[in-house]
A and B are shown apart, each in its own frame.
Chain A
Amino acid sequence: MRPRLAIVICLASLAVSGRALAHHSFAAEFDANQPITLTGTVTKLEWANPHIWFFMDVKNKDGSVSNWGFEMGGTGQLLRAGWKRDSMKIGDEVTVDARRARDGSNHANAQNVTLAKTGQRLFAGSPAPQ
């Protein structure tokens, strides 16, 4: 429990700090007015800079499956926030609070990630909307 508590506290403090990376304009790529919450199964994790991306399969209402990509912070920011590169594994079921990409593609900026198996809510270290 202790490490988890530490992670939550650390993440909470980071969440308050808000947008902390400036590699690109958040507002040009993502729409703060298009929040979206999706649940799916992780298919790919790119633990890399300047931004970590992960992908997951989401079941649509008609039974088809769409693959979505989510941007997070950089590796250093997430490591400092208590993440490890195996905090989220391929095959994990997760729920993501995100802001959709302006170009209408199946991409979004992850704000929070919740692991279904533990209920652990993790901050994604992504830049907050401008």
Chain B
Amino acid sequence: MRTDHIAAWRGGMLALVLVCATHGTALAQWLSVPVPGTPRTADGKPNLNAPTPRTADGKPDLTGVWHADTMRYNDNLLPPGTQAPMLPWAAEVYKHRVETQGYDRPMTRCMPHGVPDAMTVAGLPFKILQMPTVTVILFEEFHKYRQLHTDGRKLPVDPDPAYYGYSIGRWDGDTFVVETAGFKEGSWLDNSGHPHTEALRTTERFRRINFGRMDLDVTIDDPKAYSRTWTSDTLHFLLSPDTELLEHLCENNRDVEHLENFWQGQQAAPPTTGR
């Protein structure tokens, strides 16, 4: 009997310790959760400098929760001090967007960021899930997603235009190359407001440098908006280890009212197409 009492007492104390240890951490179990497969240092912390993880077929595995290391690319996709080779109509639209502090920026009305700037909102991470025939990007912001198909299909001919377009991916050595076409005209290439038309085609080159870092270069090819193709600054992403995405739906958008007050009476935007 006495042994049973001691066992029960020990069990109770263990339960109490567990309750104390986890007190107030119900959310922490979601925000801070050990992700299987994470390389760790001797003290148990994620080793962000560990080598690039690889899939069974030897390709780099881009899977993980990522965020941009700065908001600079979101502000302007181009390398600092450079200009995009905009056609005159595109330059006029861009100038208007800059001068009006983002007049009618789609995100103001909770419409999505586009390619590639949905990945550049540093405070709202995205999650890559790499699978054999498709790689999926889940964006925390507004609960959006992209599918990058790697099953050998070709880009669609005359697709119904879409904000994130239609994407196919392939490996070029250790670089994941994603081509996207079939864009809808509404999205902006960055928050400054570099425009694009439905003729836009993007080529993204992802490179996972090590466990904790990933780089991306994006080539913009839109002959209806730009006089030649141009390439973004190299975008740097950092892994957010041992955490998870959270819900982010646009349920309380109070900003529109204030912004409309600010924009009221300003000159109407020039047409947003070169066609």
Known A-B contacts A17-B122, A51-B254, A53-B254; A28 and B263 likewise in contact (beta carbons under 8 Å): yes
Quick one: given A28-B101, A53-B252, A80-B31, are A20 and B262 in contact (CB under 8 Å)? no
B100 touches A28 (CB 8 A): yes
Count chain A residues whose beta carbon lies closer than 8 angstroms to a beta carbon of B. Answer: 37
Q: With a CB–CB cut-off of 8 A, which chain A residues contact B108?
A: 23-25
Q: Which B residues lie within 8 Å of A105 (CB)?
A: 258, 261
- Give chain B interface residues in 99-121, CB to chain A under 8 Å: 100-102, 105, 107-108, 110, 113, 120-121
Q: Find chain B residues with CB under 8 A from A101 CB.
A: 258
Q: Which residues of A contact B191 (CB under 8 A)?
A: 22, 25
Q: Are A74 and B248 in contact (CB under 8 A)?
A: yes
* Distance, CA A18 to CA B262, complexed state (A): 24
B74 contacts which chain A residues (CB < 8 A)?
22
**CB-based contact B248/A49 at 8 Å:** yes
* A40 interface contact, C-beta 8 A: no
Count residues of chain B with CB under 8 A from any CB of chain A. Answer: 38
Are A25 and B124 closer than 8 Å at their CB atoms?
Answer: no
- Whether the pair A28, B259 counts as a contact (CB closer than 8 A) is yes
Nearest CB to that of A46 among chain B residues? B252
B42 proximity list for chain A (CB < 8 A): none
CB distance from A104 to the nearest CB of B (A): 9
A90 within 8 A of B: no
Cβ contacts under 8 Å, A50 to chain B: 110, 141-142, 248, 250, 252-253, 255
Interface residues of B (CB under 8 A from A): 24, 27, 31, 71, 74-75, 100-102, 105, 107-108, 110, 113, 120-124, 140-142, 191, 246-255, 258-259, 261-263
